[in-house]
């Protein structure tokens, strides 16, 4: 894992107004704070924290999955939320990982470690949250 690369990507997000940081836990994750919920659901214009595990071998390995706080009512409404990929601890909270795979048949382009990263994964998270059931 390249902490320096992730920090550069998160700095790009911060320049655009999105707060995100590397958080310890099992595994190491990126925590996106206050990700906006868009779309037509009753929760549009709300915000939610989302955690994303840093894959072993990043950036050669693609970013995958997304987690919401355990017990979040959004878990039943996001794509893959009903297919838990486990519970992890990060930032003093427990997170349930959803089966969300934007770079492998999930609607996003194939992973390209030269173009994609945690700074581009935010777009996938916003799209994921905009399609609440």
Q: 31: exposed, middle or buried (C-beta count within 10 Å: 0-12, 13-18, 19+)?
A: buried
Residues 114, 21, 122, CA angle at the centre, nearest 5°? 50
Domain-by-domain residue ranges, the chain? Answer: 3-130
Which tens digit of pLDDT belongs to each residue from 61-91? 999 999 999 999 999 999 999 999 999 999 9
Pick the CATH number of 3-130 from 3.30.70, 3.30.565, 3.10.110, 2.60.120: 3.10.110
* Banded model confidence at residue 1, pLDDT cuts 50, 70, 90: low
Sign of the dihedral defined by the CA atoms of residues 97, 80, 103, 61, in that order: positive
> Residue 95, SS3?
strand
> Residue 89, SS3?
strand
Q: Is the separation of the CB atoms in 97 and 84 below 8 Å?
A: yes
């Amino acid at each position: 894992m390249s902490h320096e690369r992730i920090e550069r990507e998160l700095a790009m997000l911060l320049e655009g107004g999105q707060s995100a940081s590397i958080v310890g836990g099992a595994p190491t994750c990126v925590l996106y704070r206050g990700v906006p919920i868009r779309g037509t659901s009753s929760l549009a214009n709300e915000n939610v924290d989302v955690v994303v595990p840093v894959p072993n071998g990043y950036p050669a390995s693609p970013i995958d999955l997304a987690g919401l706080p355990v017990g979040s009512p959004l878990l039943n409404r996001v794509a893959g939320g009903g297919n838990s990929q486990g519970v992890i601890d990060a930032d003093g909270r427990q997170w349930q990982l959803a089966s969300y795979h934007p770079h492998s048949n999930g609607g996003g382009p194939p992973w390209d470690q030269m173009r994609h990263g945690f700074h581009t994964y935010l777009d996938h998270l916003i799209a994921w949250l905009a399609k609440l059931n």
